[in-house]
Amino acid sequence: MVKDKARGAAREHVVETDVAVLGAGLAGLVAARELQRAGLRTVVLEARERVGGRLLNHQLGDGKTIEMGGQWIGPTQDRVAALAKELGLATFPTHDRGDYLLERGRRINRYRGRAPRFGPALSADLAQLEARLNRLFDRVHPDAPWDTPGAERLDAQTLWSWTRGATFTRGAREFIELVSEGVFAAQPQDLSLLHFLFYVRAAGGLEMLESTTGGAQQDRVVGGSQMIAQRLADELGDAVILGAPARTISRDDSGVTILADGATVRANHVIVAVPLALAGRIAYEPALPPQRDGLTQRMPMGAVIKCQAIFDEPFWRAEGQTGQAASTRGPVRIVYDNSPPDGSPGVLLAFLEGGPARRLGAWAPEDRRAAVLDCLTRLFGPRAASPRDYVELDWQRERWSGGCYGGYLQPGGWTTYGPALRAPVGRIHWAGAETAERWCGYMDGAIRSAERAVGEVIGTENPRAAVAGGVQA
């Protein structure tokens, strides 16, 4: 990696390469490596002074690591599993032995299995809700949500509106709210119903998204998920330029010129691998087509503060608990055991997501910490009140992410601007987790998006290769 020394100096001359990649998150790094493997010279411009994007490790000392960003790998996430393995990174299961907790109002249910035993009204309502949702999931075209039968209606309403018509109990509505916050870091009123359906479908269903063992939270990377990005960056070496946010992309018939802080890159193609909301803040010469420009105006990022309380040991395990909890009361809605592989120290990971993240993000850090520990204490008892350490990261304040977990489309977005999500604009190609058809928003999706974008570039350079590589039209 080229650090500060390249800045200023690089501004003086133009770096010429075959393909420029913007963003050294997982998508950008994978794209760069694939391009290099295909024999193309590549430069990655990264705004931050680190690689990984929404992946970020935090060192606890003694060689112990936790993640402040994306972290889990689950079944059917073949691409990220293969990449971790290829990079020599081991995985280990998220602690998932024991009981789960569900706090509803003033009551805390302790249970095993997928959900506690609810009363007959809520059970019936949840069952019919799930059946309804499954019928809708089946209808969605994950590769082209705008082609879904009835897409316009599904896209014309918020998840909130649909849920009111599709549920009979407050408990079922609270369930959707939990899913919305937990999966999108957004409220049901923020999301187009079609976006919700697409996203869940792209992950293989609600149970896949919610579950630990057998689901999206199943495994973790030994050493922390950011290691994936770091090892890729190590392979890429000087091709990665840090501290170089791209400001302008100019394109002409023969190539693209990227003006970044500290570097100017001339290339045949550029792959933009940053979230849509941030891609829209780059200046394009000539301007982007209206559909693409409009899309960047309509895909805001979620809001999440990832809070972790560190204890000498995971005391909840000894009490027969998984450390996993959900709460409709909040402000913490979702909790996981996030301890290192050997269970030492014990770490409870508490998410503030959507509305609670927006609200508590404006609080003084000590007040926010007190509110989080208060939730953990209600759930796990008085020992949770006194962690030996507490760390948090408010992704709303991460200017080079623009929020987390990812971008979502608001009503009317998919059916009018959606086709611009992946469509190249001349020599500009789009990657990033938001552009994935499978596991959209996840590490796995980021990798898939990079592979697709690289396929486009290689296909343009060599039309025969595109056919062989299965580039999508």
Using CB under 8 A, list all residues that contact a second copy.
152, 155-158, 160-161, 186-190, 245, 247, 277, 280-281, 283, 287, 290-291, 293-294, 297-301, 303, 355, 358, 361-362, 394, 396-397, 399, 402-403, 410-412, 416-417
Q: How far is the CB of 47 from a second copy (least distance, A)?
A: 10
**Which long-range contacts (C-beta less than 8 Å, at least 24 apart) are formed by 79-82?**
79/444, 79/447, 79/448, 79/451, 80/26, 80/228, 80/442, 80/443, 80/444, 80/447, 81/444
Nearest 5°: the CA angle 17, 22, 23 is: 135
Q: How far is the CB of 105 from a second copy (least distance, A)?
A: 19
Enter the DSSP assignment of 183.
I
C-beta closer to a second copy: residue 72 or 184: 184
Q: How far is the CB of 219 from a second copy (least distance, A)?
A: 31
C-beta closer to a second copy: residue 36 or 328: 328
Residue from 432, 371, 445 nearest 402 by CA: 432
Q: How far is the CB of 362 from a second copy (least distance, A)?
A: 7
Q: How far is the CB of 285 from a second copy (least distance, A)?
A: 10
C-beta closer to a second copy: residue 215 or 355: 355
Residue from 272, 360, 346, 280 nearest 316 by CA: 346
Please name the residues in contact with 59: beta carbons below 8 A apart, sequence gap of 6 or more: 65
- Strand, helix or coil for residue 334: strand
**Amino acid identity for residue 233 in this structure:** A
* Strand-pair category, 263-267 with 14-16: parallel
Phi, psi of 50 (to 5 degrees): -150, 165
Q: How far is the CB of 300 from a second copy (least distance, A)?
A: 4
C-beta closer to a second copy: residue 341 or 412: 412
Please name the residues in contact with 101: beta carbons below 8 A apart, sequence gap of 6 or more: 108, 109, 110, 111, 321, 324, 325, 326, 335, 379, 380
C-beta closer to a second copy: residue 12 or 238: 12
Q: What is the 3-state secondary structure (H, E, C) of 42-111?
A: EEEECCCCCCCCCCCEEEEECCEEEECCCCEECCCCHHHHHHHHHCCCCEEECCCCCEEEEEECCEEEEE
61, 272, 320, 466 from 459: Cα distances, Å: 47, 17, 54, 4
Nearest 5°: the CA angle 80, 203, 293 is: 90
C-beta closer to a second copy: residue 67 or 394: 394
Q: How far is the CB of 246 from a second copy (least distance, A)?
A: 11
Question: CB–CB of 330/354 below 8 Å?
Answer: no
C-beta closer to a second copy: residue 33 or 422: 422
Q: How far is the CB of 418 from a second copy (least distance, A)?
A: 12
C-beta closer to a second copy: residue 187 or 339: 187
Q: How far is the CB of 443 from a second copy (least distance, A)?
A: 23
Residue from 156, 105, 166 nearest 134 by CA: 166
Q: How far is the CB of 49 from a second copy (least distance, A)?
A: 15
Query: Beta partners for 428?
Result: 270, 425
Lookup: tokens for 383: 């020992």
C-beta closer to a second copy: residue 142 or 418: 418
C-beta closer to a second copy: residue 208 or 301: 301
**Amino acid identity for residue 50 in this structure:** R
C-beta closer to a second copy: residue 60 or 197: 197
125, 164, 261 from 129: Cα distances, Å: 6, 11, 50
Q: How far is the CB of 384 from a second copy (least distance, A)?
A: 27
Q: Measured between alpha carbons, how far is 271 from 2 in angstroms, rounded to an integer?
A: 19
